[in-house]
Amino acid sequence: MKPTQKFDEEVKKNKEINKLLNQTKKVRKFNILILGTGDAGKSTFLRQLRVNCGGGMPAVERQRFINVLRDNCLTAIQKVLIAAKDFNIPISEEHEANINAIISSNELSSILLACVGTAWFSDLISETLKKHNLLQIPGGISGIKYFVENAERFSNPHFEPTDDDIARAKLRTTGINEVTIRVEEEEINLIDVGGQRSERRKWLHCFTIVNAVIFIVALNEYDMVLEEDGITNRLLESLKLFQLLTGTTCLSEKAWILFLNKSDLFETEIKHVPIANFFPEYTEFEKQCSSSNTQTQSQCDIGIEFIKSLFVSQVKTGKVYAYTTCAVDRYQCERIFQVVRREVLEHSFELVGL
């Protein structure tokens, strides 16, 4: 199907849905629960929607992200430097004192800012990040690079966070956070809850009130382990959680939407670390894809299809809508949200026989 033809069909569907909504002449309210393991990108996605679709973020709340971003930046750089020492990456005596000073600092110091951008510092960061899957750093390689590149800007006394900064800020979700977005005659309430194991008991309170569930998976985590125990494969943990939730009786009739997130990080990761090292069944899947497709697929596309198949196969009843996403891409988030809106509406109409 040509892209223009597919787009025309989606426009036609949206018009049909809007026509049905206009006939009801009342606001339709939907609750969408956003689930997934820790650091999958749930809060990033929600912030993007709030900033770009939900009327923006008040100036007072934006100010809260100034210190969050400064702390994120310092913590990320410190973790990499500590790892460099742990990995026994060579550091000259000339630079050893600066590294130790940065690690022990509680602010974006003048020493750190003087080092950022120098050749030796960049080389040290790059060499350490070759083993980034062993580090517990939210955002991975691109996150580190973003913080290093913007360290000087963050340290400026007059620093004001941009929308992109806010999307990339790392602030662990605890409890339940909600954002309401009004689109035409619909009021969509997005509910984000913490993804760490200790937070999951709070999810139960949300199950009965939702119309749909967005489950977010971080594609790039196939070679990473949980921060909580340092052993369990993150993707496997996400898969088991998805299997458990989709098999829950009170969620069986909900619309399920799967976000295969962090596609940008995955595309980089798969070039260096084979999926088969952690999921041996990938080798056979790759062979089948190569033999059954007339068009050549990229390694990244096959990898995404493999991970998608792992999750979709867990759904025994009903249907799951799957999309490849990058939560730090604001424009893609807006487009995906419109698609999700349509899927939720169509699912609701199906339940009442429309």
Give binding residues for Mg(2+) as ranges: 43, 173
- Give the span between the Cα atoms of 48 and 50, in whole angstroms: 5
Strands (E), 194-285: 212-218, 255-261
User: Which among 72, 73, 69 has a CA at the least distance from the CA of 162?
Assistant: 69
Percent composition of the chain: helix, strand, coil (DSSP 3-state, to 5): 60, 15, 30
Is residue 305 within 8 Å of 289, Cβ to Cβ?
Answer: yes
- Give the span between the Cα atoms of 8 and 6, in whole angstroms: 5
The helix-helix angle for 140-149 and 59-86 (nearest 10°) equals: 110
- Give the span between the Cα atoms of 41 and 192, in whole angstroms: 11
Q: Is 131 helix (H, G, I), strand (E, B) or coil?
A: helix
Query: Phi and psi for 217 in degrees, rounded to 5?
Result: -115, 135
Question: Is 332 exposed, middle or buried (CB count within 10 Å of its CB: 0-12, 13-18, 19+)?
Answer: middle
For residue 168, the one-letter residue type is R
Q: Could you list the residues known to form a binding site, using ranges.
A: 43, 173, 192-196, 261-264, 327
User: Which among 55, 32, 44 has a CA at the least distance from the CA of 183?
Assistant: 55
Residues with Cβ within 8 Å of 2's Cβ and at least 6 positions away in sequence, in order, are none
Q: Could you list the residues known to form a binding site for GTP, using ranges.
A: 192-196, 261-264, 327
Is residue 299 within 8 Å of 233, Cβ to Cβ?
Answer: no
For residue 294, give the DSSP letter: S
User: Which among 166, 227, 251, 247 has a CA at the least distance from the CA of 40?
Assistant: 227
Q: Is 325 helix (H, G, I), strand (E, B) or coil?
A: coil
